[in-house]
Chains A and B, each alone.
Chain A
Amino acid sequence: MRKAIMVYGRYVSVVLQSAMQYRLSFFLMAGGRFLIAFNGFLGIYFLFSGFSEVKGYTYGEILLCFSVMQLSFSLAECCANGFKKFSGIVRKGEFDRMLVRPVSPMLQVLGSGFDLGRLAPAVTGVLVLFVGIRNCSVDWTAGRMAALFLMLLGGVCLFAGLFMIEASVCFFSIENTECMNVLTYGAKEHGKYPIDIYGKGLMRFCTYVIPYTLVQYYPLQYLLGKTDKWQYALCPFGVILFVVPCYIFWRVGVRHYKSTGS
């Protein structure tokens, strides 16, 4: 385990050094990503200058929800970006090389794909979190803070799991994985509102198929004091039930792997 962390650390430092060779480009790119996320905040800001609430959620509460999604998505994207690049890794035959090295292939995929620039939307996330906290009347007990932390942690794991599926699909088909974008980018974009505003059908999908509600809707109810059930705060642990099959899928994929031969 210690060795794995050290190897990952090496990867991160090498990737950072190479990014710093094109410093201006790196910062402009990060600035662009920051702006795109910030646009989402501007949208909510102006929309709620005319409307006061949506299904009982106030402006500040929506912002909390938005920032949690932005933060968990961008953290997951920064660390698990290797999964998103995986189709390229397979196509170029780089994965063959990774398999012969005495380190876990997943570690190499993650390490070589690390992308700090993807963290730029998290800046928006943090800013919006503060604006949200100022604009809503949540009583910040230790339990609520823990709920917020668990939402973030669960969210990162959930998105990482989705990216893992996206990568694993590449073992079986080299076609593009556009449909996964609905589940990742779509969730980041539309998860800015608590899922129950979209109606019952989507709530069910987001609980039993991809468990977004476990990191968003349920703990949010506890966080905002809309329910007294403290158990709701523990829902993010349920994501483990989702991530484990994702990992098994990855393992099956690795075993199934045939080189593309280039």
Chain B
Amino acid sequence: MDQTREIEDFDAVVRLYWPRIFRFALASLRDRDAAESLAQDCFLKAYRARQGFRGEASLSTWLMQIAVNLVRDSIRNRRLRFWNRTRAMAPNFDLASQSLADQHSSPERAVLAKERVAAVWNVVETLSQRQRTVFLLRFMEDLDLLEIAAVTGLREGTVKVHLFRALEALRKRMGETQ
């Protein structure tokens, strides 16, 4: 469907893209309420600006651009409110990792996989905000480098550098845990 026509049915747009926007916000902020609020803000901004959407980028990229900017602003504001750090949630993969259990035949392998996921998550927490954004867009949302560049406004080479640094941190951490 034509992107500019797709945006006319905004309820459908919200239904289709809410999970992705919410997931990115949740992984970035680790606070469900904040993630919900951010996702709502994202769609409200998009709704208000929908007349200006010309379909040059995909609707998904456009929405993700808005979400990335909102996450950046939110993190900047949170730095000033130190008590919010204590509200950050650690992802509970016991509740959520059904796919890990399904992927691995033995419980031992599933436990190892869970440890690996926790290690990746710990590394993600230690990354700078920009590295984390790039990492999540690449390895959680499966965006390619050009899409990430479009969403973040960075050059493709800069995206690669951020990814490389994030992966170096991850590789070192994985080396420690293995």
The answer to whether A binds B is: no
Interface residues of A (CB under 8 A from B): none
Residues of B at the A interface (CB closer than 8 Å) are: none
